[in-house]
Structures are given as structure tokens and as C-alpha cells.
Amino acid sequence: MIKQPEGFGFRRRRAQVGAAPGSFTPPTEVVEPVVRVMTWNVEELDEREIEVEDLGREHPVDGRLRWVDVQGLGDGTEISKLVDSHGLHPLAVADVVNIGQRPKAESYGEEWFLVLRMAGLEGDSLSFEQISLFLLDGMVISFQERPGDCLEPLRERIRRGGKRLRANGSEYLAVMILDAIVDGYFPVLEQFGEILEDLETTVVARPTAEVLERIYAIKRELLTFRRSVWPLRETLSQLIRDEALSDDVHPYLRDVADHVSQVSDIVETYREISASFVDVYLSSVSQRTNETMRVLTVIATIFIPLTFVAGVYGMNFDTSLPGNLPELALPYGYFIFWGVCALMGVGLVFLFRHLGWLGGGDES
């Protein structure tokens, strides 16, 4: 059974009603942050983990590109230190901690703030995780809800010394992070396709109440997927139209937007397939009911003439009077009665089979 995410996959945590803009509510489940810092230029790469207390001390370095990746939000106090140390907008920092935000791109002066959702599928359990990006001059800061992501191939490209990643700036790095997150949707959708194929066989062979519950669970999961992907198209369009970003990254943004369109089309197709499973389920249940009623009808039809004969010869007429039932006095009449009943029953079974009511035969 696919695990149901709370609130259709959006575990929203908002500040108290009436609170000042930019305030946030500490998370109910504290995940201690793991901070990884990668700093590089064309020739050199420095990769290390730092303490959370040192998070506010990481600043851009002249001639180098820095990626600060925070996995785990803690109680939010460490993240709030970035407001003063890097001049990040408090509204953006609040959106980092108050997870469940809609995918979006916002500009705060020369600073860009992006919100996306990473998808993961473990077995049949679909989960989404918010990732927030701050795009600064010479630096990208990313925040994730918990350790573990789909960005390790990107880190490997940086370690191997990919020319584009090493030579380009923070805008190109941010676009590559977007591309890696969107590419992570495809393996999840492939597993979803396999789940739908198995479910298609099950809904025809065993249309039980548990199968119907699973169908609706998948529909809810796909709705969550759609709500996570669909706003991303608008976000990428906004970034492509904005003249603040370099023209060099626009082709890569358009490529990411094309991948998002493919993901959206696949999600819509899977939603239509899952919706059709409800009709298949109802048809299968109706077919099974019809087959059951057919068998019961055949059984009842066979016993109707037997009941009639037994009822007539069970009235115990006086056979000494004319007009009554002389057959009651026949030798071996009891055995003759059962023989007649057996012949009628077998004859009706062959007739129903010939008509196709019991399988085979010609139903026309």
C-alpha cells in the first residue's frame, strides 16, 4: 500500500496567525543539520563538512565558486543566523523553515530565492522533500529537510572536474541543481508505471475493496505529484523571461523546462490511467456479480421442476379412488421418482451449457 503523505504530500507548518511576516514555527521533528561545503575553481576543489555554528561564516571567495548544502533544518535557529551574515531576506528564510511551500522563484534585489520539491519512492511509498536555493554572487546555498538527495551525480561531476561546472558561475550551478532535481522525477515515474501495470492486472483478477483503496491512494499520490511539478513550469518561465540572469544559462533553463513538460505529460497520463482503473474495478465487480447471479439462477432453475414433482407426489392422495395418483402404488416408485429427477437435472445442465450459461456453447 502506498503511504499517504499528510495533507496530500504538503506537510505545511505555518507561523502563528497574526505573527509578523518572516517569522517561522520550529519543526515538530528536529533533524540535526549536516552542512557540506564545496569550493572550487577550474584547477582546485575543496570539499568539507563544517559545524552548524560555523554556517554563518561561509562567504563567497573571489575567483572561486562555493556551494553550501545544508541537509536538515534543525530547529531553525541556525538558519536564521544567515539573515545577518549573508543579508538574506527574512521572508525567504521563513519559507525555508516553514516547509510545504509552492515551487516558486523570487527576486530580492540581486539575490534569487528558489523553492522546489524533490521526489522519492521507496517501495510503494512516495515522499516529497522541499529544497530551497539562495542564488548569490559566486555562491549557492541550498537547504533540505533531511539528509539524502538526488544531487550526488552532480557532486560527482564537480569532483571529476567537469569543465562547464568548474568554469561557470553560480547561475549555472543553480540551473544544474534544478536539472538534477527534475531528472530525479523520471526514475520515480518509472517505478510508478510499474506499480500501475501490476495494479491493472490485480484490478481485473481480484477487484477487492483493498484494491479500490489502493487505486484512490495512487490517485492522491499523482495529484500530489502534479501539485509539485505544475508550478515549476511557471517558475522556469519566469526565470527564462527575466533579464537579470545571464543569457548563457537560458539554453540550459529551456532544457530543464522541456524536461518538466515531459514529467507533467507523464503525470497527467498516469492520472488518466488511474482514473480509468475505477471504471475497470466497477466493471470487474459487476461482471463477477453477474456470474454469481447466473450460477444461482441456473441452480434455482434446475430445482424448480424437481420441487414441483416432489410437491405433487408429496400430497399423499388416496390411490384407491379414481382420478387420484395411481403412480404412487407402482412397484419401485420411489426409485423411479429419483430417476426422473436426475434425468431432468442432468438434461437442464446440458441445456444450459449448450446455451453458454455455464461456459462453452453458443450464447447466441
pLDDT in tens, 31-57: 788 888 988 888 888 888 888 777 777
d(CA 341, CA 72): 79
Given strand 139-144, what is the order of strands in its sheet? 45-50, 34-40, 65-71, 139-144, 125-136, 111-122, 104-108
Q: What is the pLDDT of residue 322?
A: 65
* Residue indicated by cell numbers 539573515: 83
Question: What pLDDT shows up at residue 10?
Answer: 44
Cβ partners under 8 Å of residue 230, min gap 6 = 264
The Cα–Cα gap between 150 and 119 comes to 9
Rounded CA-CA distance 333/142 in Å is: 95
Cα–Cα distances in angstroms (integers) from residue 268 to residues 128, 180, 225, in the given order: 18, 22, 10
Name the percent of the chain lying above pLDDT 70: 81
Determine the number of helices (DSSP H) and then strands (DSSP E) in the chain: 10, 7
Q: Apex CA 57: angle with CA 54 and CA 62, to 5°?
A: 140
Q: What pLDDT was estimated at residue 346?
A: 85
Do residues 171 and 249 lie in contact, with contact meaning Cβ atoms separated by under 8 Å?
yes
Cβ count within 10 A of residue 125: 13
Gap between the Cα atoms of 115 and 363, Å rounded: 62
pLDDT at 179: 92
The strand pair at 45-50 and 65-71 is best described as: unpaired
Query: In whole angstroms, how large is the CA radius of gyration of the chain?
Result: 35
pTM: 0.74
270, exposed or middle or buried, with CB in 10 Å at 0-12, 13-18, 19+?
buried
Please give the Cα distance from 240 to 247 (Å, whole number): 9
Q: For residue 95, which amino acid is it?
A: D
- List helix spans (H) across 39-184: 77-80, 82-86, 90-97, 152-159, 163-167, 170-183
Amino acid at residue number 189: L
The span from the CA of 92 to the CA of 176, in Å, is 21
Distance CA 289, CA 259 (A): 45
Q: Is 157 exposed, middle or buried (0-12, 13-18, 19+ CB in 10 A)?
A: middle
Lookup: cell for 121 = 519512492
Residue 124 CB partners (closer than 8 Å, separation 6+): 1, 2, 3, 195
Which residues in the chain show pLDDT less than 50?
1-11, 18, 363-364
Q: Tell me the C-alpha distance between 288 and 272, whole Å.
A: 24
What kind and span of H or E run contains 132? strand 125-136
Residues 6 or more apart whose Cβ sits within 8 Å of residue 245: 171, 239, 253
